[in-house]
Structure 1
Amino acid sequence: MKIAKGLIIADPWIGYILDGTKDWEMRSSVTSHRGWFGLIRKGTGAVYGVARLTDVGRPLSPVEMMAAYEHHRIPDHMVRSGEVAKWNTPWVLADVRGLSRPVSYKHKSGAVTWVELDEAATEGLASALRGIKSFDSRATDQLSEAFVEKSQSEALSQPSAEPRRPISPAVMIFESRWIGEIEINEANLRNNHFYLRPLIDRFPADVIGGSNKASAARREVTIDWGGPKPVQTDIDGKDKKFFRARGWIGAFYRLNGAQAGDVVVIEETAPYRYRVRVQKVGVVGGGS
């Protein structure tokens, strides 16, 4: 099967799609396209996976956006602030497939919603998908018909208390795992850090290093924190027991409006990859 279109999606949103925790891509307008397309990670010039666009909903109000957090993963504070007001139209995704190796493409100049993939990219994508045993476009289409999606209005009027699973299975070799929560205090906010002391045993031993860069761990983890780029770091596990790279944490606190008493929630989304978010005081299961 030939996949000729691609959609550029920034981090952390493309990461959420690929790990199966986001099945709505929020856009500023509708599209007539339905079917398969490539998931392009913004700024990389490469396709990292594919998905099937099954439906496009109507524009959502801020209240509806906040009720649908488990679909789009946009924190409430970003909705309330108006910074994502333009991107209120849900594109419903299914059958996400991640690639073991990204496929490069030649990006033509000009601002467009859909990227037309060049011949080399479409061939490379087809070759990569043949390596995924469970990828069969005919079988997938038949399977998807068995997963009947609720209407947008019904789904929004009855928000689930549990995180919503994708309506059809994605190819994943890892299931997200809750690591734990760390309460933020005033010193954390002043010094741009949070301690991992009660959770240190839940991280792989080979990412825990000594007290300085000279004794850094053999491996690093990737942290998806909601900013423009994920962070690569090991853990200072001898004395301080926090992420060694801390330049992002101040921006992370500001992005989420963090205050003393809020908690940092840490989830493992793939081997050596973690997502962090701030849960506000008195908000259970919220995105910020």
Structure 2
Amino acid sequence: MIVKRGLIIDEPWIGHILEGRKDWEMRSQATSHRGWFGLIRKGSGLVVGLARLVDCGKALSPSEMIASQDHHRIPDSMIRSGAVSKWVVPWKLANIQPLEHPVSYEHKSGAVIWVLFSDEVSTRLAEALEATSTIACNTIATPSPTLDTSLVMKASGHPTTDASFRQQTPAAPAHPLPEAPRHLLGRSLITGGNLRNSHFYIGDFLDKFPADSIGGSSKEDAGSRDITVDWGGPSTVMTDIDRTKRMFRKRGWVRQFFLASGAREGDTVVVNASAPYHVHVHVERGSNS
């Protein structure tokens, strides 16, 4: 099987897919593609997994989105706020296979939805898929040392063929990868001005961020390395920090973050880090909320 294309997916959604918690990738439009494709972690330049696209559903209403959260993992608050109103078409996945050794690829300009792989990358992915399938088949074919399957099937009155036994045997559950531990960087009290202007301050704990992620007041004087901000939305944000304003330079996402979390004056933005350049933000309710 040749894997000729890949799909770029941002965190936290690709993490949910690879860890077995998400089998619908929500998109703004339908696709005619069916079959195997590569799972690309956005911004990494790496194919980190493989999956099979088996179906493409119709656009879902908000109530249908809420009812199917076990498939797509989008929080109820984001659905109700309209933050994901465009991403309502489910691309349904099966046979999700994380790659033990991610495969690098060249991202050619013009690729918007699907990324077309070179022959070399396609071959490497096909080899990875074949190796995974071989391991899976060997695992299924190996009988349990503590169970005589023929005796079990005879006692139940069912045929004792291998195919029948495999049909009766449930698939092994997926084991999620452990999440990286997070540590607190700081808290920022939300004011009325923050809500109106879609920002929050991080000046009280600015020294907790890497020095090369902090820049001056202009884009020309930006930090040399961005921070990845995971706010729970459909895509993370890559931004440096404006030292003079004491906030993340990119602020377009903050309004959606406040809306999705139902933030109010007196609440607090909590900023945690799972890596030096990867932070997670959420809203903690104030005493009057």
Pairwise TM-score range, normalised by the shorter structure? 0.5 to 0.7
Contact 1:263 1:281 in 2 (8 A): yes
Contact 2:6 2:117 in 1 (8 A): no
- 1:143 and 1:259, CA in 2 relative to 1: closer, same or farther beyond 3 A? farther
Partner of 1:148: 172
Q: Deviations over 1:222-263 (max 9, x none)?
A: 224437673221463xx76432x1433554446636443454
Query: What's the % identity of the aligned pairs?
Result: 26
Give unmatched runs, 5+ long, in structure 2. Answer: 141-168
Looking at secondary structure, tell me which structure has more helix per residue: 2
Partner of 2:99: 97
Partner of 2:240: 233
* RMSD of aligned alpha carbons: 5.3
Matched, 1:273 2:275: no
CA distance in 1, matches of 2:95, 2:206: 36
Partner of 1:196: 202
Matched, 1:184 2:186: no
The SS at the match of 2:200 is coil
The SS at the match of 1:104 is coil
- 1:281 and 1:263, CA in 2 relative to 1: closer, same or farther beyond 3 A? same
CA distance in 1, matches of 2:282, 2:229: 10
Matched, 1:206 2:215: no
Partner of 1:247: 251
CA distance in 1, matches of 2:215, 2:101: 34
Which amino acid is 2:194 matched to? N
CA distance in 2, matches of 1:272, 1:246: 15
For normalisation by structure 2, the TM-score amounts to 0.56
Matched, 1:83 2:85: yes
CA distance in 2, matches of 1:139, 1:251: 47
Which amino acid is 2:134 matched to? R
Q: Deviations over 1:134-178 (max 9, x none)?
A: x855335666998635xxxxxxxxxxxxxxxxx2355x8x72526
Q: Deviations over 1:35-94 (max 9, x none)?
A: x5302468x8x6532233498798887557436657634232442348257424653564
Which amino acid is 1:222 matched to? T
CA distance in 1, matches of 2:20, 2:206: 25
Which amino acid is 1:74 matched to? I
Offset at residue 117 of structure 1 (A): 4.2
Partner of 1:164: none
Contact 2:271 2:279 in 1 (8 A): yes
CA distance in 2, matches of 1:247, 1:77: 20
CA distance in 1, matches of 2:109, 2:205: 43
- 1:12 and 1:279, CA in 2 relative to 1: closer, same or farther beyond 3 A? farther
Contact 1:54 1:94 in 2 (8 A): no
- 1:7 and 1:118, CA in 2 relative to 1: closer, same or farther beyond 3 A? same
CA distance in 1, matches of 2:257, 2:76: 15
For normalisation by structure 1, the TM-score amounts to 0.56
Partner of 2:66: 66
CA distance in 1, matches of 2:175, 2:206: 34
The SS at the match of 1:188 is helix
Contact 2:6 2:114 in 1 (8 A): yes
| Count of aligned pairs | 249
Partner of 1:138: 134
CA distance in 1, matches of 2:223, 2:281: 21
Give unmatched runs, 5+ long, in structure 1. Answer: 150-166, 283-288
- 1:261 and 1:21, CA in 2 relative to 1: closer, same or farther beyond 3 A? farther
Matched, 1:24 2:48: no
CA distance in 1, matches of 2:200, 2:193: 9
Offset at residue 186 of structure 1 (A): 1.0
